[in-house]
Structure 1
Amino acid sequence: MSKFFIENNQRTVCYYVGGNPASEKIIFFLNGLYVGNKSWIKQQRYSYFRDNYKLLFLDYPGVGNSEEKENQELVYEDIITAIKNVLDREGRRETHLIGYSLGGMFGLWFTYQFPSYVNSLVLLNTGVRINIYIYQMIHGLITMIDSGVDLKNVYMFLYPWNHSEEYLEKTSDMEHITLENYYNYNRNTRSFKALLTALRNHPNLKESLEHITCPTLVVGSGNDKVFPLEYQKEIAAKIPNSTLHIIPSAGHSAFIENHQEMNALIEQHLKKFENTNEKL
């Protein structure tokens, strides 16, 4: 995995390139809130993705290895601009965006604003709005950051919400590793607070749905407590060229819990382009 930086007078954004760097086809993975490219390890190792695509991963502004200037304000559009800057740097190629959770929200809005950049969209466990539980969670996180609470203690309470009961029972030994990844990715509390604030003030994503014309795969889970299944059904009903798939037993992180099924679904979606040469 190679690391690159894009710098301007406001911030330094870090992104990573894996897979087949010589490929003319890109999969751009947009992760959720707490973990960066390490969350996609099951996808990075999947031979179809690894051998046939250049794989891109982004540290959102202010988290991971991306840096903000002191007291720099962060708004939702800054995250969209960071995605665009990476694709501009890598050159215009056949590009497939895969967005998980809040990364799916970024993917929706980016595709709405820059449709010529995206050949297809994959939305995993996401929605067009943040429900009252997640809104209160974000508000609570900001309050705890302002109060000086150690983020490791905060993440200990958040971690179980991302997985199903069955998965947690089988993988309790992974909790420590996961919490360390949470902490390392969001170790700058000031920047993490700015990111949370930008997410809380997200635009009206509903207006984007009917304008997205590229082929879109929407995947939801029966036990998702963060973005319940009704959220994915809403998206699939309003994006004209979309397909909905449900994984009944998975929790919010289906791409981890059910990675074999998820990878096969995404491969099937991408192979439509091989068979039809369909492009925007």
Structure 2
Amino acid sequence: MTDDRTEMIDVGDDVRIAACRTGDGPAVLLSAGLGMPAATWQFSGLPAALVDAGFSVVTYSARGVSPSSAPPAPYSVHDIAADAAEVLDHYGVDEAVIVGYSMGCYVSQALLDVWGGTVRGLAMVAGLRSSTIGVVVNRMELELIETFGHVPASVSLFEQLMTTPSPSILKDDTQVANWRAMLDGASDEAWTSIDGLHGCTRASYDWMSAGEPTVERLEAITCPTLVVGFGDDVYFPATGSAEAASHIPNATWTLLDGPGHGGLIFDPEHRATAAVTEFCRSL
């Protein structure tokens, strides 16, 4: 699924990033999670809600994610953020609200380091303070890639089943079977090549292993900030993200009970979408 307005933007070093800008008004940049093509945002309803609220929305697929280029690994979070900065510059954006989901929260923080424009506000959904489970999963994937050259589809499916829905869904075998049918093969289709999976996973693992975000990084975020956590998120447990948010000087913490890590897209009430849209309106 690719938006027909998508264009390939040359960000240097023979890397081209697939990006799209829709709507009119102040810009909002959406930085997606690990292996999440830009078109996936549509399932959250967030781009449409923001456009309806009077914003223009910039989405992009990170390097390594289809259909963007996949240069050889490794990548860093700051490499991905630099690509996003080039996308903003391409569209002539010099002031924006930055929204991140999951790993996109890492990229959003790194954008504060590498982009020369003004960040009016920062919203981070299910991605501020990672868990030991996140580190273990990334390390497992890296070992599989570096040993066998790929991550078996059954492994990717199991990871997604165990982390994306809420625990209550995992107790219902009928719902698990439905999720299996929905998720099966999605991970393989997300990547431009194995270099993309390797590079982005390495970037994620290195960020977490370095203890990011550090207290110093969080304290340096001075713009208005919204942090959203999901009550049953095992990748980014609410307690850790709430503690991290407490170090951001101008942050609002919002806990949404019930959803697992996939709550941005799969919460039937789309509460995270509503919270982010209202935050953007408030700036």
- Tell me the TM-score range normalised by the shorter chain: 0.7 to 0.9
Contact 2:131–2:237, Cα closer than 8 Å, also in 1: no
Contact 2:77–2:110, Cα closer than 8 Å, also in 1: no
Give the equivalent residue in structure 2 for 1:177.
Answer: 182
Q: How many residues align?
A: 269
Contact 1:127–1:235, Cα closer than 8 Å, also in 2: yes
Counterparts of 1:113 and 1:81 in 2: how far apart (Å)?
6
Give the equivalent residue in structure 2 for 1:225.
Answer: 234
Give the equivalent residue in structure 1 for 2:167.
Answer: 165
> Is the alpha carbon distance of 1:231 and 1:270 closer, same or farther for their aligned partners in structure 2, counting shifts above 3 Å?
same
Counterparts of 2:148 and 2:92 in 1: how far apart (Å)?
44
Q: Deviations over 1:57-108 (max 9, x none)?
A: 2211122112134x46423321111011011111125411111111111112
> Is the alpha carbon distance of 1:235 and 1:118 closer, same or farther for their aligned partners in structure 2, counting shifts above 3 Å?
same
**CA drift at 1:46:** 6.1
Alignment of 1:215 onto 2:224: yes
Contact 1:63–1:185, Cα closer than 8 Å, also in 2: yes
Give the equivalent residue in structure 2 for 1:205.
Answer: 213
In percent, how many aligned pairs have the same letter?
Answer: 20
Q: CA RMSD in A?
A: 2.4
**SS state at 1:119 partner:** strand
Counterparts of 1:27 and 1:235 in 2: how far apart (Å)?
23
Counterparts of 2:196 and 2:181 in 1: how far apart (Å)?
23
> Is the alpha carbon distance of 1:72 and 1:248 closer, same or farther for their aligned partners in structure 2, counting shifts above 3 Å?
closer
> Is the alpha carbon distance of 1:135 and 1:271 closer, same or farther for their aligned partners in structure 2, counting shifts above 3 Å?
same
**CA drift at 1:148:** 4.2
> Is the alpha carbon distance of 1:91 and 1:233 closer, same or farther for their aligned partners in structure 2, counting shifts above 3 Å?
same
**CA drift at 1:112:** 4.6
**SS state at 2:112 partner:** helix
**SS state at 1:14 partner:** strand
Give the equivalent residue in structure 1 for 2:141.
Answer: 141
Alignment of 1:192 onto 2:197: yes
With 28-37 and 202-211 compared, the bigger mean Cα shift is at 202-211
Alignment of 1:262 onto 2:272: yes
Matching residue within 19, 22, 35 for 2:22: 19
Give the equivalent residue in structure 1 for 2:260.
Answer: 251
> Is the alpha carbon distance of 1:42 and 1:127 closer, same or farther for their aligned partners in structure 2, counting shifts above 3 Å?
same
Alignment of 1:5 onto 2:8: yes
Structure 1 stretches (4+) deviating beyond 6 angstroms?
none
Give the equivalent residue in structure 2 for 1:278.
Answer: none
With 189-198 and 108-117 compared, the bigger mean Cα shift is at 108-117
Counterparts of 1:231 and 1:111 in 2: how far apart (Å)?
22
**SS state at 1:223 partner:** coil
> Is the alpha carbon distance of 1:43 and 1:94 closer, same or farther for their aligned partners in structure 2, counting shifts above 3 Å?
farther
**SS state at 1:173 partner:** helix
Contact 1:162–1:226, Cα closer than 8 Å, also in 2: no
Listed as ranges, the matches of 1:27-176 within 5 Å are 27-44=28-45, 47-51=48-52, 52-69=54-71, 71=72, 73-114=74-115, 116-128=117-129, 130-145=130-145, 146-149=147-150, 151-160=152-161, 161-167=163-169, 169=172, 170=175, 172-176=177-181
Name stretches of at least 5 consecutive residues in structure 1 with no aligned partner. 274-280
**SS state at 1:220 partner:** strand
Tell me the amino acid that sits aligned with residue 68 of structure 1: A
Counterparts of 2:241 and 2:68 in 1: how far apart (Å)?
30
With 173-182 and 93-102 compared, the bigger mean Cα shift is at 173-182
Give the equivalent residue in structure 1 for 2:281.
Answer: 271
Counterparts of 1:48 and 1:32 in 2: how far apart (Å)?
19
